[in-house]
Amino acid sequence: MHESPLVTLDHRILVTTTRILATWGVDRGHQAALLGWDAPCLQGLLSGAAPVPQAPEQVERLLLTVELIRALHGRYGQVEAWWLHRPNQVAPFDGRTPVEYLASGGLEALQATVQHLDDALRGRVPPSAEAVALASTLPQPDITLEDD
């Protein structure tokens, strides 16, 4: 029986995605949770010993993870790993690292994180309280708005 090109493409996307995540320091357990599998199943998928599941949620998770990589790289450039592993006080992370949040929050966490990054890329995220406090300590020029 001939293998569907979609299955081959999904496997290539899966392999590439997990390689990028590994480069960013995301361990196999967190990768599996993010993608909706357990670690042994993901390992089997990557080795080619098991077919790639085509359940709608699996496909959506894989595509959202690709979107996460795009948005994260677009937002933070070469410091993606730093952002993923640093506790983040803003919603939706609420003090957890993004990796912890993504691994424990299911599909909704993945969607919320991609949305958060896309909003930040578009300038729709308000500055943090830390940024506002820091900005208030900077010298301010004297500005007169009245005409002389």
Contact 65, 51 (CB under 8 A): no
Of 110, 101, 111, 99, the closest CA to residue 24 belongs to 99
pTM over 0.85: no
Closest CA to 73 of 88, 83, 60: 83
Higher-scoring residue by pLDDT: 103, 134: 103
* pLDDT above 70 for 5: no
pLDDT tens-digit series, residues 7-32 = 555 788 889 999 999 999 999 999 99
User: Which is nearest to 35 in space by CA: 122, 74, 16?
Assistant: 16
pLDDT at res. 57: 84
In the Cβ-directed half-sphere of 57, how many Cα atoms lie within 13 Å? 9
Lookup result for tokens 């999904």 = 10
